[in-house]
């Protein structure tokens, strides 16, 4: 394996940088006429509202600010720099640079969201066309791109379900949302925020799939809907998914398909064929828009024809020659996010789809499926690693593994291994969402971006660390060793006397000590 | 129906036939069909998707998308006076350089070891916001101001177990709609009732009498904005705080942080939870894709426990250095699913970094200077417009960068005026006729540090022609 050490710049916190009197930028001088015809700025502020002293932010000159943040960027292991296939549920795929160039265009960055329709025909065309394509991909009839992230997309679906039952005078009786433990936690948390009670179906310990009998027992006159991921966060496709939908429909509920894990489904299976009423996709995952250190993102929500009246406003329409924004939807749930959402993600996704075409998109799915099953074959040859729910050993986009055997043998667990692999120049892996019903889990997702050599190399790192757990467990437990910093003390993170969310709080608490 | 088959692609290394065959052999299947068996045939789409063939060449792709984008008319070509929650400020080149660094663009959820730089930039954002706000606890931003305000209202409601919030009548209709989606659960559990507080028609200030009438033992929180949606600066903060606190409610204040070089932070007049928009801090408008909402409080465990968003804390390493981690992560959905506080997820990480770089560039002096530049330019514009016969500006003189322009005496509608301006390559202010009918034919103008005297003269002259 190649030698690696992360950049170590030992940068101070910016609050300690600079000198009084330095500055990073200058503001345009106020013209003489403006200066003369206006009062001092304080004149325009009610007395009580005038700030008395300057904020205590640092005074730093421009080269040092640039240097500081360039160094911080170097100390950030972006996907483009590494074999980033460990982050299951995240679909860490190549974000083509041409799309970054397009979103940097002033024809996008310098557009105000409230400009007249006639001056944003380009953006509206992209939104409209992309929504046609994503309708075809999912089988849904209309999309909104307003939700600024996957969780907000899921919350939007919960609000749509709430609105549907409200219009039908079925609230508050229909107050339960059914989800599954291996669906993303937002499928439980977001409908709970919307006011629903949550019923969680646990996985069958043998198959890993939610039990259809448990679903039958859970539905009632209180059922408002089902919010479910498929494949779930195990990579196992639920072959009874259409039956699940049927049971919910018969009980009078709506079904929302969480398609965050859709990378292996493109062109193979769709929400429509499974009978779903609505779905959501993470544009910043399967559709190649970059993750951007956690956003800006988009949870695109699509619905069937009979639910389009509830979608957020405005809708983009096309009259054959011009695009328009339509606000006239009296039953709309209104706004889920200010303005139109993070359309930069849609611009990139449009460009990505145009670079793929229908067959290319299917090849994305097929390649992802081959990659994960190849990875399973290789990883399960390593002592200490087991595939969770091996009864179904074919997975679609990702797979949940367990290091329980390794932990039992060596006392080195999955958190230790995650912290150790970063010493080899790859991003850590995602363990799993809680609760860990699969003990000591990890959840890689080798999407179409990664070559066979990439996967082999990643497997070698895991093999090396598992062996090291036996020969030199302390090295793993005290990892990392070749990273920017050493292992952190996690106790302060939950101690009010020690945590510090700002520099000013840190200084105060340090003084107290 | 597209027919073009893709057997090689710049983004997909494993399409090489021999490699694919070798991998399939290792897996133990003959072809891809052997792996699709887990998806029942009845659920399969047995045709190619129906959309255009690919533009495999990057050059073709660039031409195609650029041609569509070129149909837009950006604010660099037109003179823009639209604001209303997304504002045209200058974005320094250093900010653009940093937010386009591929390390930041493509990073995601890595921990403090492999992504130290990201975590440090986040902590620096929280730290500098903390100084602007004079508050010790600041969270990572959420999707936008509307969500931040909604979360703040829900935090207050969980803290005092009361189910009513008072919100100003002068509020962005979009923001109010978001707050309704978060708070109005209808007859479901957790419903928080929203009541609107009236404003003084002369000044745009909160109507204290109406506030007092609506406050009750049921009031969980009072939410105000400063500057308000219509640009006015609220002067009665301390009185509003007194009334709010006397009723055992929390005072939430929504702000635009670029005003904080001039305006005192809300904690100084009794704000308990402060929220607002970060787009003004060095983020391009991006057709509204540049927004993000922050939340801040005192460093009190009662408040910390109710945040739904991520909170980055500094901590130490085993060798005496520093690192970072999430503070009280167990309150989030990631730890406890539906038992978590509301929800969070992927929000606006890159914009958080942009705002950090921007605040560092401005420093304490420039944040004041930019406030002065904005307030003087906006008041200059207001003065010039006011001199036009038929045009009247409302709520003067206490406003920051946005102000209301009324056309009632001109005999023209805002729509007429804006059409005329558009023909002269000017985006006039946002029409607010439907949202605030009591203000007649009015629109909301935004003037910032980017508007020169020449720009303002051009607006004045064109408006003069428009209402002739």
Instruction: For residues B351 and B446, state if they share a domain.
Output: no
Instruction: For residues B115 and B264, state if they share a domain.
Output: yes
State the smallest CA–CA distance between residue A201 and chain B in angstroms: 13
For residue A393, is it within any domain? yes
Token pair in block for residue A103: 């979103």
B 217-246: CB under 8 A from A = 226, 233-235, 237-238
For residue B1, is it within any domain? no
**Each residue of B151-201: pLDDT tens digit?**
999 999 999 999 999 999 999 999 999 999 999 988 898 999 999 999 999
For residue B418, is it within any domain? yes
Whether A375 contacts A455, CB under 8 Å: yes
For residue B68, is it within any domain? no
ipTM over 0.95: yes
Instruction: For residues B349 and B453, state if they share a domain.
Output: no
Q: Do B74 and A107 touch (CB under 8 A)?
A: yes
Instruction: For residues B143 and B35, state if they share a domain.
Output: no
Coil, strand or helix: which one is A455?
helix
**Each residue of B407-463: pLDDT tens digit?**
999 999 999 999 999 999 999 999 999 999 999 999 999 999 999 999 999 999 999
**Each residue of A216-258: pLDDT tens digit?**
999 999 999 999 999 999 999 999 999 999 999 999 999 999 9
Question: A100: part of which helix (H) or strand (E)?
Answer: helix A97-103
**Each residue of A453-472: pLDDT tens digit?**
999 999 999 999 999 999 99
Instruction: For residues A251 and A338, state if they share a domain.
Output: yes
Instruction: For residues A226 and A150, state if they share a domain.
Output: yes
For residue A87, is it within any domain? no
Domain that holds residue A442: 368-491
For residue A432, is it within any domain? yes
Residue that is last in its domain, among A26, A54, A81: A81
Instruction: For residues B318 and B260, state if they share a domain.
Output: yes
Please tell me if residue B366 touches chain A, with a CB cutoff of 8 Å: yes
Q: Does the structure show a pLDDT above 80 at A63? A: yes
For residue B47, is it within any domain? yes
Instruction: For residues B174 and B286, state if they share a domain.
Output: yes
For residue B291, is it within any domain? yes
What CATH code is carried by the domain that includes residue B296? Answer: 3.40.640.10
Nearest to B426 by CA among B402, B462, B397: B462
Whether B276 contacts A331, CB under 8 Å: no
Mean pLDDT value of segment B92-101: 98
C-alpha distances out from residue A118 to A123, B34, B89, B427, B439, Å: 11, 51, 23, 12, 27
Show the 3-state SS of chain B. Answer: CCCCCCCCECCEHHHCHHHHHHHHHHHCCCCCHHHHCCCCHHHECCCCCCCCCCCCCHHHHHHHHHHHHCCECCCCCCEECCCCCCCCCCCCHHHHHHHCCHHHHHCCCCCCCCCHHHHHHHHHHHHHHHHHHCCCEECCCECCHHHHHHHHHHHHHHHHCCCEEEEECCCCHHHHHHHHHHHCCCCCCCCCEEEEECECCCCCCECHHHHHHHCCCCEEEEEEECCCCCCECCCCHHHHHHHHHHCCCEEEEEECHHHCCCECCHHHHCCCEEEEECCCCCCCCHHHCCCCEEEEECCCHHHHCCCCCCCEEEEEECCCCEEEEECCHHHCHHHHHHHCCCCCCCCCHHHHHHHHHHHHHHHHHHHHHHHHHHHHHHHHHHHHHHCCCCCEEECCCCECCEEEEECHHHCCCHHHHHHHHHHCCEECCEECCCCCHHHCCEEEEECCCCCCHHHHHHHHHHHHHHCC
Q: Do A195 and B289 touch (CB under 8 A)?
A: no
Instruction: For residues B340 and B381, state if they share a domain.
Output: no
Q: Does the structure show a pLDDT above 70 at B372? A: yes
pLDDT of res. B293: 98
Please tell me if residue B46 touches chain A, with a CB cutoff of 8 Å: no
Q: Which residues of B touch A112 (CB under 8 A)?
A: 75, 80, 82, 86, 88, 285, 287-288, 427
For residue A421, is it within any domain? yes
Q: Does the structure show a pLDDT above 80 at B27? A: yes
pLDDT of res. B1: 43
pLDDT of res. B272: 98
Q: Do A57 and B65 touch (CB under 8 A)?
A: no
> Residues in chain A, how many?
513
Whether A289 contacts A343, CB under 8 Å: no
What CATH code is carried by the domain that includes residue B412? Answer: 3.90.1150.10
Q: Which residues of B touch A78 (CB under 8 A)?
A: 102-107
C-alpha distances out from residue A28 to B66, B399, B403, Å: 32, 21, 22
In chain A, the N- to C-terminal Cα span, in Å, equals: 45
**Each residue of A436-449: pLDDT tens digit?**
999 999 999 999 99
Please tell me if residue B186 touches chain A, with a CB cutoff of 8 Å: yes
**Each residue of B33-88: pLDDT tens digit?**
999 999 999 999 999 999 999 999 999 999 999 999 999 999 999 999 999 999 99
For residue A200, is it within any domain? yes
Whether B321 contacts A509, CB under 8 Å: no
What CATH code is carried by the domain that includes residue A436? Answer: 3.90.1150.10
Instruction: For residues B347 and B368, state if they share a domain.
Output: no
In chain B, the N- to C-terminal Cα span, in Å, equals: 56
For residue B70, is it within any domain? no
Q: Does the structure show a pLDDT above 90 at B7? A: no
C-alpha distances out from residue B54 to A447, A451, B35, B60, B164, Å: 20, 22, 26, 10, 54
Confidence of residue B323 (pLDDT cuts 50, 70, 90): very high
Instruction: For residues B387 and B340, state if they share a domain.
Output: no
**Each residue of B210-252: pLDDT tens digit?**
999 999 999 999 999 999 999 999 999 999 999 999 999 999 9
Instruction: For residues A168 and A206, state if they share a domain.
Output: yes
**Each residue of A82-109: pLDDT tens digit?**
999 999 999 999 999 999 999 999 999 9
Nearest to A193 by CA among B186, B338, B178: B338
User: Pairing relation of β-strands A197-201 and A223-229?
Assistant: unpaired
**Each residue of B136-146: pLDDT tens digit?**
999 999 999 99
Instruction: For residues B204 and B272, state if they share a domain.
Output: yes
Neighbours of B368 (CB within 10 A): 19
Q: Does the structure show a pLDDT above 80 at B4? A: no
Instruction: For residues B336 and B403, state if they share a domain.
Output: no
Domain that holds residue B20: 13-58
Percent of chain A with pLDDT over 70: 100
Instruction: For residues A159 and A257, state if they share a domain.
Output: yes
Please tell me if residue A14 touches chain B, with a CB cutoff of 8 Å: yes
Give dist(CA A383, CA A463) in Å, integer.
8
For residue B71, is it within any domain? no
Q: Do B376 and A35 touch (CB under 8 A)?
A: yes
What CATH code is carried by the domain that includes residue A191? Answer: 3.40.640.10
Residue that is last in its domain, among A300, A326, A354: A354
pLDDT of res. B3: 60
Instruction: For residues B117 and B171, state if they share a domain.
Output: yes
How many domains does chain A fold into? 3
Question: If you average pLDDT over every residue of chain B, what do you get?
Answer: 97
Q: Do A339 and B39 touch (CB under 8 A)?
A: no
pLDDT of res. A513: 77
State the smallest CA–CA distance between residue A250 and chain B in angstroms: 20
For residue B275, is it within any domain? yes
Q: Report CA torsion sign: B298, B299, B300, B306.
A: positive
**Each residue of B253-284: pLDDT tens digit?**
999 999 999 999 999 999 999 999 999 999 99
Of A60, A185, A493, the CB nearest to B325: A493
Instruction: For residues A323 and A380, state if they share a domain.
Output: no
Q: Which residues of B touch A147 (CB under 8 A)?
A: 143
Question: A246: part of which helix (H) or strand (E)?
Answer: helix A241-250
Instruction: For residues A130 and A259, state if they share a domain.
Output: yes
Q: Does the structure show a pLDDT above 70 at A413? A: yes
Mean pLDDT value of segment A162-173: 96
Please tell me if residue B259 touches chain A, with a CB cutoff of 8 Å: no
For residue A199, is it within any domain? yes
Instruction: For residues A345 and A383, state if they share a domain.
Output: no
Residue that is last in its domain, among B357, B379, B410: B357
How many domains does chain B fold into? 3
Q: Do B45 and A273 touch (CB under 8 A)?
A: yes
Instruction: For residues A385 and A345, state if they share a domain.
Output: no
For residue A510, is it within any domain? no
For residue A497, is it within any domain? no
**Each residue of A5-52: pLDDT tens digit?**
999 999 999 999 999 999 999 999 999 999 999 999 999 999 999 999
């Amino acid at each position: 394996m190649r030698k690696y050490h992360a950049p170590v710049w030992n940068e101070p916190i910016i609050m300690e940088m600079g000198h009084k009197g330095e500055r990073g930028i200058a503001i345009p001088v106020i013209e003489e006429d403006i200066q003369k015809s206006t009062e001092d700025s304080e004149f325009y502020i009610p007395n009580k509202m005038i700030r008395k002293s300057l904020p205590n932010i640092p005074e730093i000159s421009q080269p040092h600010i640039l240097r500081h943040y360039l160094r911080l960027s170097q100390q950030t292991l972006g996907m483009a720099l590494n074999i980033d296939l460990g982050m299951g549920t995240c679909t860490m795929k190549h974000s083509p640079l041409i799309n970054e160039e397009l979103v940097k265009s002033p024809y996008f960055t310098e557009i105000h969201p409230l400009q007249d329709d006639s001056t944003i025909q380009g953006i509206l065309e992209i939104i409209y066309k992309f929504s046609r394509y994503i309708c075809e991909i999912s089988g849904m009839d209309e999309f909104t791109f307003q939700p600024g992230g996957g969780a907000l997309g899921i919350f939007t679906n919960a609000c749509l379900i709430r609105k549907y039952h409200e219009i039908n005078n079925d609230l508050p009786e229909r107050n339960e949302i059914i989800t599954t433990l291996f669906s993303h936690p937002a499928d439980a948390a977001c409908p709970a925020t919307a006011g629903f009670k949550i019923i969680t179906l646990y996985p069958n310990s043998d198959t890993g799939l939610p039990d259809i009998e448990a679903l039958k027992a859970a539905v009632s006159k209180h059922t408002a809907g089902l919010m479910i991921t498929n494949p779930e966060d195990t990579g196992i496709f639920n072959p009874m998914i259409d039956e699940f939908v049927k049971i919910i429909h018969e009980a009078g509920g709506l079904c929302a398909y969480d398609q965050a894990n859709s990378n292996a489904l493109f062109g193979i299976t769709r929400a429509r064929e499974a009978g779903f009423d609505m779905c959501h996709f993470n544009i910043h995952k399967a559709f190649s828009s970059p993750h951007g250190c956690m956003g800006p993102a988009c949870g695109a929500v699509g619905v069937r024809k009979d639910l389009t009246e509830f979608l957020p406003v405005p809708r983009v329409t096309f009259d054959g020659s011009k695009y328009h924004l339509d606000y006239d939807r009296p039953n709309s749930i209104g706004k889920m996010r200010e303005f139109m959402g993070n359309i930069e993600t849609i611009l990139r996704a449009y460009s990505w789809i145009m670079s793929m075409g229908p067959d290319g998109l299917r090849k994305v799915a097929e390649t992802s499926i081959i990659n994960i099953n190849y990875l399973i074959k290789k990883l399960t040859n390593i002592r200490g690693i087991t595939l969770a729910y091996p009864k179904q050993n074919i997975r679609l986009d990702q797979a949940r593994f367990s290091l329980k055997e390794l932990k039992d043998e060596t006392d080195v667990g999955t958190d230790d291994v995650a912290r150790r692999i970063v010493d080899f120049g790859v991003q850590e892996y995602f363990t799993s969402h809680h609760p860990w019903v699969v003990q000591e889990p990890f959840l890689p997702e080798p999407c179409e971006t990664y070559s066979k050599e990439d996967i082999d190399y990643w497997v070698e790192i895991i093999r090396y660390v598992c062996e090291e757990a036996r020969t030199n467990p302390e090295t793993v437990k005290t990892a990392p060793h070749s990273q920017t910093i050493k292992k952190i003390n996690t106790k302060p993170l939950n101690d009010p006397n020690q945590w510090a969310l700002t520099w000013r709080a840190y200084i105060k608490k340090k003084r107290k000590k | 129906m597209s027919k073009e088959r893709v057997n090689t692609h710049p983004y997909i290394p494993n399409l090489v036939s021999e490699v694919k065959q070798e991998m399939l052999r290792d897996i133990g299947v003959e072809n891809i069909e052997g792996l699709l068996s887990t998806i029942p045939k009845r659920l399969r789409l047995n045709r190619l998707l129906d959309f255009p063939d690919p533009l495999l060449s990057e050059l073709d792709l660039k031409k195609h998308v650029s041609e569509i984008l070129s149909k837009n008319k950006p604010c660099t070509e037109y003179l823009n006076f639209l604001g209303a929650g997304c504002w045209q400020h200058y974005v320094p080149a250093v900010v653009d350089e940093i937010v386009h660094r591929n390390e930041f663009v493509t990073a995601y959820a890595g921990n403090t070891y492999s992504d130290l730089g990201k975590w440090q930039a986040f902590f620096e954002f929280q730290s500098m916001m903390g100084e602007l706000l004079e508050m010790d606890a600041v969270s990572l931003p959420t999707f936008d101001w509307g969500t931040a305000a909604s979360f703040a209202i829900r935090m207050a409601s969980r803290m005092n177990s009361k189910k009513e919030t008072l919100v100003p009548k002068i509020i962005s209709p979009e923001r109010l709609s978001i707050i309704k989606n978060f708070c109005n659960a209808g007859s479901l559990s957790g419903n928080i009732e929203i009541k609107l507080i009236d404003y003084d028609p002369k000044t745009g200030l909160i109507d204290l009498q109406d506030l007092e009438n609506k406050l009750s033992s049921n009031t969980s929180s009072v939410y105000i904005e400063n500057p308000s949606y219509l640009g006015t600066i609220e002067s009665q903060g301390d009185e509003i705080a007194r009334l709010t606190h006397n009723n055992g409610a929390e005072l939430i204040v929504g702000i635009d942080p670029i005003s904080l070089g001039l305006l005192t932070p809300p904690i100084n007049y009794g704000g308990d939870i402060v929220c607002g928009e970060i787009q003004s801090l060095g983020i391009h408008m991006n057709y509204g894709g540049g927004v993000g909402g922050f939340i801040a409080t005192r460093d009190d465990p009662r408040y910390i426990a109710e945040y739904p968003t991520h909170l980055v804390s500094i901590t130490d390493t085993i060798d005496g250095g520093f690192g970072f981690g999430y503070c009280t992560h167990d309150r989030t959905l990631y730890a406890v699913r539906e038992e978590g506080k509301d929800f969070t997820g992927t929000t606006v990480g890159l914009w958080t970094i942009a705002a950090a770089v921007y605040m560092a560039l401005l420093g304490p002096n420039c944040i004041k200077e930019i406030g002065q530049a904005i307030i003087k330019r906006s008041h200059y514009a207001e003065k010039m417009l006011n001199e036009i016969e038929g045009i009247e500006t409302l709520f003067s003189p206490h406003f920051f960068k946005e102000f209301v322009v009324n056309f009632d005496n001109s005999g023209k509608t805002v729509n007429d005026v804006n059409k005329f301006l558009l023909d002269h390559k000017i985006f006039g202010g946002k029409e607010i006729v439907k949202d605030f009918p009591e203000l007649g034919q009015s629109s909301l103008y935004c003037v910032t540090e980017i508007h020169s005297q020449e720009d303002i003269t051009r607006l004045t002259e064109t408006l003069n022609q428009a209402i002739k």
